Amino acid sequence: MKLATTRSVTLIGVKGAVIDIEVHIGGMPGFYMVGLPDVSLHEARERVRAAVLSSHEEWPLQRITVNLSPASLPKKGSQFDLGLAVAILAADGDVPPMATKDVVYVGELALDGRVRPVVGVLAAVLAAAAAGVQRVVVPEANAAEARLVPDVSVLGVRSLAHLLALLRGEPVPDEPELEREDLPQTQWGTADESVDMNEIAGQLEVKRAVEIAAAGRHHLLLNGAPGSGKTMLAARLPGLLPDLSTRESLEVSSIHSVAGALAADQPLVTRPPLAAPHHSASMAAVVGGGGRTIRPGSASIAHRGVLFLDEAPEFRAGVLDSLREPLESGSVVIARVEATASLPARFQLVLAANPCKCGYHGSVERDCTCPPDTVRRYGNKISEPVRDRIDMHLPVQLPNLATLEEDLAGAEPTKVIAERVAEARERARVRLAGSQWQVNGDVPGPALRRHFPVPAAVADRAQRFVTKGALTARGATRVLGVAWTIADLEGHDHPTIADVGEAIGLRLGRLP
């Protein structure tokens, strides 16, 4: 009986599952694959056959039956090629049996036998490690990414011939490295660390709000005329955030790996990411999904970082409303007929909006050309349920040209503000120790009121605005969360009446 088994990984969303590739050889020539393979896997037989022959190996001239187990899980992608080739050669007796024992193979084969890089290698190796596998074989271009997982031995190979020589203990063929243009490149998901807060003149109240947002991971809506600095402020927010922890780095890097947004020369994401999709982006591009393959969208790329939607009213209403679930739960659940995936999406949302279509409603600098009904409809494009989940609503005024130079001279740099943010986060971390939350913005309303109550006189100030109808119950709870962050920045043990008053002003857009 000619039978062999290797292992690979299938990705469902950003999670991996180890798959057994069972190969049986015998009978009339043919190739049959079972176990819910997709189209790219059915095409694997042509890639694998050409790669085997190009590597000067013999292709079995008998019936080849491949079973992908467990059969109930859908299998997608070209990362099974390498494991499939090894299993076929092992079943035919051309590879030592020990080569297939407790090893996971991930990689796509080119027709000439080269092993091409694939997306999701980090997620695949994490899944292998969780399944108890300690050895993995990956494309050489993905080796640095795979080695981020501790306690796993990683072998990077350039070609099938290279791998077979290592498995047989033969001399390794002299082959060129894969050229740089063949590697997956980062296109989005990183913040520009060269920008600095001291490049923004004036806007002291809004910069204070951005600092509070960074300290507590609070959501922010910036509303103002074109040229008021909304985009500049949002672009500098990630620079105020502390570095990701080791666990967070692996989590974020795994998501970026599946999305194909991980830089080959810097596979570990250590800084909070920034995702800024264009307002023409589809719902699948923003929250994730797609066709048969579930891929993370901008909301997951921004996990542990910032999701910035510039010109927010220009986004489709359905796209904005689809963010309501991740704003509450920190994840997006994508359901398809074949599989359901939960994508991490605990991001900090920043929306920038003009007050009207022309952008100058309420401005003293220029006259607005929009009819009142148009102004109302434009403002309503961001629905009330979405607005209610945003902690701070800030008007951003056009800067006064006469004071721009003077304001720039006294502007604080990002480094100074980031130090205050780090100190505030440390106070919150100590207070939240032993809970599942890390920052004030993560604490849900019931837990905030039950476990972190504030003095009655302080809470009553927020409650009065609920009674008057200026705040919803959710809005009042978010005011208390922001007040805790302000207290952390000011070094207070509990929010004071002044802290709550500032938080209410930030919520209602009534800056001093």
What does the DSSP 8-state code read for residue 159?
B
Cα-only R_g, the chain: 27
Which pLDDT value is given to residue 228? Answer: 86
Output the furthest CA–CA distance in the chain (Å, rounded): 87
3-state SS assignment for residue 396: strand
- pLDDT tens digits, 212-231: 999 999 999 999 988 888 99
DSSP code per residue over 469-487: TSS-HHHHHHHHHHHHHHH
3-state SS assignment for residue 101: coil
For 25-49, b/e burial (b = at least 16 CB within 10 A) is beeeeebebebbbeebbeebbebbb
Distance of alpha carbon 146 from alpha carbon 353, whole angstroms:
41
Return the amino acid letter for 97: P
DSSP code per residue over 208-254: HHHHHHHHHT--EEEEE-TTSSHHHHHHHHHHHSPPPPHHHHHHHHH
Assess contact for 284 and 327: CB atoms under 8 A. Answer: no
Assess contact for 271 and 414: CB atoms under 8 A. Answer: no
Return the amino acid letter for 121: V
SS3 breakdown of the chain: % helix, strand, coil, rounded to 5? 40, 15, 40
pTM beyond 0.85: the answer is yes
Which pLDDT value is given to residue 511? Answer: 60
Phi, psi of 104 (to 5 degrees): -105, 130
Domain boundaries, the chain: 2-182, 185-400, 412-512
Distance of alpha carbon 436 from alpha carbon 325, whole angstroms:
19
Return the amino acid letter for 120: G
Residue 82's alpha-carbon distances to 12, 38, 105, 248, 270, in angstroms, are 19, 17, 6, 30, 30
Phi, psi of 386 (to 5 degrees): -70, -45
Assess contact for 254 and 424: CB atoms under 8 A. Answer: no
Residue 142: name the closest of 104, 100, 168 by CA: 104
Residue 25's alpha-carbon distances to 4, 36, 99, 104, 396, in angstroms, are 9, 20, 18, 21, 70
Distance of alpha carbon 470 from alpha carbon 310, whole angstroms:
26
> What CATH number should be reported for the domain whose range is 2-182?
3.30.230.10
Distance of alpha carbon 393 from alpha carbon 434, whole angstroms:
31
Tell whether omega for the bond before 70 is within 30 degrees of 0, i.e. cis.
yes
Return the amino acid letter for 391: D
Distance of alpha carbon 448 from alpha carbon 439, whole angstroms:
12
Distance of alpha carbon 481 from alpha carbon 478, whole angstroms:
5
3-state SS assignment for residue 89: helix
Distance of alpha carbon 33 from alpha carbon 460, whole angstroms:
67
Residue 269: name the closest of 305, 293, 223 by CA: 305
> What CATH number should be reported for the domain whose range is 185-400?
3.40.50.300
Alpha helix (H) residue ranges in 241-338: 246-259, 283-287, 298-301, 317-321, 324-329
Assess contact for 420 and 241: CB atoms under 8 A. Answer: no
Q: What is the mean pLDDT of each run of 10 residues along the chain (512 residues)?
A: 92 93 94 89 93 96 95 89 96 89 94 94 96 96 94 96 94 75 50 83 88 97 90 93 94 92 83 94 91 86 96 94 93 84 94 92 84 90 94 87 63 92 96 92 89 88 88 92 96 94 91 55
3-state SS assignment for residue 397: coil
Which pLDDT value is given to residue 184? Answer: 46
Residue 213: name the closest of 474, 417, 410 by CA: 417
Which pLDDT value is given to residue 97? Answer: 83
CB atoms under 10 Å from CB of 5, counted, come to: 17
Measured over the CA atoms of residue 84, residue 87, residue 89 and residue 95, the dihedral's sign is positive
DSSP β-ladder status, 63-69 and 15-25: antiparallel
